[in-house]
Every structure is written in C-alpha cells, then in structure tokens.
Structure 1
Amino acid sequence: MKSHYDTMEFAAHHSKAKLLGVFQVSVLHNIVHLLFGITGVALARSAGTARNYLVVGGAVYLVLWLYGMFIDHDSAANFVPVNTADNWLHFFLSIGMIALGLLLGRNTTTGRTPTR
C-alpha cells in the first residue's frame, strides 16, 4: 500500500487547502513563498539590493500572474498550485513591487548644499 508521502502529493495541483478560505496552497507553494521572503529579508541589507529585489521579484510575480492566467488550473501544469485569487494577488504584488522599486530608486535632492 502506497502512502501519499511516497509521491509528490505535497506539490499536487489538486490541493484542496486554502489560506483564508481563498488562496489555494500546498506545502510546495508555502516553501516557494517562504524562500521568496527569506531572499527579500537577506537583500534588504542595502538600498540597492532591496530595490533590485523589488523590481526583479515584481517581474517574477508578473510572470507567475501570466502563467496562472493561461494554464488550466486542473492540469498538471498547475504544479505550485494557483487559483484565480492567487493570480490576482500575484498581479497586484508585481505592480506594487515594481512601482516601489522604481520610485524608491530615484535619486532625490534635499536642496541643501554641501558644507566645506
């Protein structure tokens, strides 16, 4: 008799688990988000790497949104898994992250002149 632990069940697209009753999740989905968060914390040590994380991470979420929009949610291609709520969360995260990365990356002047 095979246990469900013998297969990649934790990564299956047919996970019925939902976060807050809305976002489809699985163990693999949680691991992906955990690694994404750990990366963000590690790259927050300097302004430059934080901005790059926001822009690149936003681009990754934008790709995930597009991917989620075009795959069949009931197919094996939905391996993370995602549903419609996840797709729109990825879209708004991507827009917010890219906008913050670009806006916070702009050099601003204070209008003060340096002292000699």
Structure 2
Amino acid sequence: MSAHTRQMTRTPLQTAALVMGIIFLAVGILGFIPGITTDYGAMRFAGHNSGAYLLGLFQTSVLHNIVHLVYGVVGLALARGWTGARNFLVWGGVIYLLLWIYGLLVGHGSTANFVPFNTADNWLHFLLGIVMIGLGVALSRGGGPRRGPFSV
C-alpha cells in the first residue's frame, strides 16, 4: 500500500446516517413519480389542498418532496464524518419530533398546514424522530470513532 493511500472506515453511526439519507432521497424522488404518488395531477407546490398521496397514504406536495430531497442530501453529506452523522441523526430526529407536534396542533385544513401533513405523515414523523434519535444516541455511546495505533 502506498504511503499516500489512506483507508477510510465508516462507523456504524455513519452507516446509519447514510442509510437514512438514502431513504430520504428515495422518498423525495418517489414523491415525483406518478402511480407511486396517487392523484399526481392534484399535487400542488405547497398547501393543505394538495391532493397527491405518496403510496396512497402520505399527503405530499412539491415542497414536501423537495424537503425530503434536501434532508437526504444533508444526510449523505453529514454521514461522511462521525460528528456530522451523530448531529444529523440526533438533531434531525428532534426536528421530526417537532414536525410531529406541529402536525398534531395544526388542523389538516388550515393554511398553516403548508407542507402539507396528514395523520399518516404525523405518525411517520414521530416514528422517524424516535428512530433517528435512538440511532444517534445508541451508536455514538463511547465517544468518537476508534482509531488503531497506526491510523492516519
């Protein structure tokens, strides 16, 4: 092996962040595919009156899909480092729990429901928040990544 070659090792924490980033990217892309998104023609840029549903269950809009795409890109970028991966999972999970609370407090027909969210979205946000925080905390116990005595 050349002196200039450095072996990169991904930690379980980074792998979890990478997987979550890929999932968010996939959801964002799938939201723009007619058939996977039912009533695709009724999709609006934003607002509670968007009539499109990802998998026929989760109310979606162009803005909602863009948010998933951005979240996915951020997850992929932050998964490159241990601290970034932990921050993406923990703080990203906190954001999803806040979205869950927001979705519970805002009426589905309200103009404040601009992303939009429905009941299925709300409970998915709760689940995502718990899973992301759980992964971030559990996989970051013991501090940063372990390095051997000859690591560069």
Take 1:46 and 1:32, find their aligned partners in 2: how far apart are those partners?
22
Alpha-carbon RMSD across the aligned residues, in angstroms, is 1.2
The one-letter code sitting in structure 1 at the alignment partner of 2:103 is G
TM (norm. structure 2) is 0.64
Residue equivalent to 1:52: 87
The one-letter code sitting in structure 1 at the alignment partner of 2:121 is D
Query: Which of 61, 64, 78 is the matching residue for 2:96?
Result: 61
What is the Cα deviation at residue 43 of structure 1?
0.2
Identical-residue share of aligned pairs (%): 62
Give the secondary-structure state (helix, strand or coil) at the position aligned to 1:18.
strand
Instruction: Tell me the alpha carbon deviations over residues 59-109 of structure 1, each in whole angstroms, 9 at most, x when there is no partner.
Output: 00000000000101101000000000000000000000000000011018x
Unaligned runs of 5+ in 2: 1-43, 144-148
TM (norm. structure 1) is 0.84
Query: Which of 77, 98, 108 is the matching residue for 1:73?
Result: 108
Larger relative contact order (CA 8 Å, sep ≥ 6): 1
Give the secondary-structure state (helix, strand or coil) at the position aligned to 1:11.
coil
4+ aligned runs moved over 3 Å, structure 1: none
Residue equivalent to 2:126: 91
Take 1:52 and 1:10, find their aligned partners in 2: how far apart are those partners?
29
Unaligned runs of 5+ in 1: 1-8, 109-113
Residue equivalent to 2:78: 43
Give the secondary-structure state (helix, strand or coil) at the position aligned to 1:78.
coil
Query: Which of 80, 102, 108 is the matching residue for 2:137?
Result: 102
Is the helix fraction higher in 1 or 2? 1
